[in-house]
Amino acid sequence: MTSSRLLSRFKSESSIRILQFVAGAVAIGVIFWQLQFSTSAICCGDFDGYYHIKWTRTLWEGMKSSRFPPEFPWLPLTTLNPKDYVDHHLLFHIMQIPFAAFSDPRLGAKIASALFGGLAVLSCYWLLFHYRIRYPLVWLIALLACSAPFLFRMNMAKAPPLAIVYLVVAIHLFFKRKYWPLLPLSLIFTWTYDLFVLLMMATVFWSVTVLVTEKQFEWRPLVYVIAGCSAGMIINPYFPHNFQLLVEHMQIKLTAGDFDTKVGSEWYPYDSWEFLGNSAVACIAMLVGYIAFEPSERRRGHYPIFFLLFSTALMIMTARWKRIAEYWPPFAILFAAFSLKPWLEGFRPYLTRLPPDVLEELKPFLDREVPPPETENDWRDLLRTIGVAAVALALSIFLFFNLRSTVREIGQSESHDYYRAGAEWMRANVPPGQIVFNTDWDDFPRLFYFDPSHYYVSGLDPNYLFDKDPELSRLYDRITLGREEDPGPLIRDRFNARYVFSDNAHHDFFEQARLSGWFDIVYEDTECTIMYIRDQKIAESLGEDGVE
């Protein structure tokens, strides 16, 4: 083949690859935009996105007035009190600043979430592309169809999508043996999100991979990552409180038993059938990866061995904690892709399992360069095309149902104005700076967003109250669950709060409040109720339907 024909063929292949990558990026963008705008609220499930965008805006206002970092007074009874507050998403919040500057921060948060979530999937797609895994568009469908919880959680206005991007960059650096950039990457990861421990775990697995395949200990990536993470913790405006908070998180969440206090549902395990049903494609990918795994040729063994270790560890973690569902599924797809890479390229790894003397006898036959008949090539190409089309169709069906399920689940999120009327009533009628007793810790982000003029008892994670004062945390649980018959004086004297904000689902608490004679309902709508604690208890409750 002449040089001009080779050059023409190279340009043609390059153009096709560029078109495939652009088409994939557009498809990812369309899907994440559709998912994100399936609700008017900041997506989704929990309310944490409201805290993140509101604090981002507060952070920006503090920067403009030369107050960095600004004080955080909104949870004074917890370990996030003004003295001990730690922003363990600091760089994520800084990245959100251009979006928080929108006249409508809600819209800014949604656009940022769609962008960051799309980048996470695109980074995985790029890794497949860069290492020339065949049929990249089919693998893209697999990435998008890998898990409904993955799609759901990638649309939350949180930092995990950026964590996936950092992990993909780190893996690329591992594979290229370029270790020094791991130091700044680790530093950035640590400033962005406290799950930088996943990067440390990945680095350990890469060192194990090199040890297995090359019989040598690769210490350099470990040194760079540990140094970068340590620098990120120390060169930090919240040091040393950030280190204390990290230790507290690990002590509480990394437990084989039950938690000391009720935490978010994301920290509990999946039911077995729920786990399989929600992430069927990821589970199938793991099975395919295990079957196709062939590390016997060292040159080809590094990548699948690493993904075997990393994705298996993430799968086990997902079985324990639902929240790892935002990490494991895409890496399960990458494990299958890199394990199948030799097979897709026509490499015959099963031959390496034969004894050396048998391989020697077969060598003359294996080395023959006699091409198969043209008709045989045609049939082989046809069968391959049919097989790839069948896999793509099956994955597309999974993708369709996962998208439909995720759109429906996101669409069921509470509307953007949920709690808005009650919070605005408090801003107008409750003196600023007072502590409000919120009966649900996970209501805090919306209250903080709509009413930052008051402080709250518990928020973001119930363990923040428990860590600061376990006895007060247990009292909080008893009151909100309706197990204290006379809650008014306890709320007033122990929590220093005269106003109570509650959703309308705390029936047991409302019943105790009604019977106690300490409470007046001062505001009520279909979403929430606000009560005021009297100075004196009335002798007998007067109403059957209200507090008085």
Look at the chain and count its residues. 548
Integer Cα distance of 311 and 98 in angstroms: 34
Total Cβ atoms within 10 A of residue 111: 17
Place of tokens 């592309």: 129
Residues 6+ apart with CB under 8 A from 436: 426, 430, 447, 454, 455, 456, 457, 497, 499, 500, 501
Tens of pLDDT along the chain (548 residues) come to: 566 665 566 567 788 888 999 999 999 999 999 999 999 999 887 899 999 999 999 999 999 998 999 999 999 999 999 999 999 999 999 999 999 989 999 999 999 999 999 999 999 999 999 999 989 999 999 999 999 989 999 999 999 999 999 999 999 999 999 999 999 999 999 999 988 999 999 999 999 999 988 889 999 999 999 999 999 999 999 999 888 888 877 776 565 555 445 555 565 667 766 777 788 999 999 999 999 887 665 555 789 999 999 999 999 988 888 778 889 999 999 999 999 988 887 655 544 555 555 555 555 554 544 455 556 566 767 777 888 889 999 999 999 999 999 999 999 889 999 999 999 999 999 999 999 999 999 999 999 999 999 999 999 999 999 999 999 999 999 999 999 888 999 999 999 999 999 999 999 999 999 888 899 999 999 999 999 999 888 865 444 444 54
**CA 497 to chain CA centroid, nearest Å:** 34
Integer Cα distance of 528 and 228 in angstroms: 46
Residue 376 one-letter amino acid: E
Q: Residue 309 in 3-state DSSP? A: helix
pTM of the model: 0.88
Identify whether the C-beta of residue 198 lies closer than 8 Å to the C-beta of residue 331.
no
Integer Cα distance of 237 and 235 in angstroms: 7
Q: Is the dihedral of CA 225, 227, 233, 236 positive or negative?
A: negative
What is the spatial order of strands in the sheet that 435-438 belongs to?
455-456, 435-438, 497-503, 528-533, 519-524
Identify whether the C-beta of residue 402 lies closer than 8 Å to the C-beta of residue 148.
yes
Identify whether the C-beta of residue 447 lies closer than 8 Å to the C-beta of residue 438.
yes
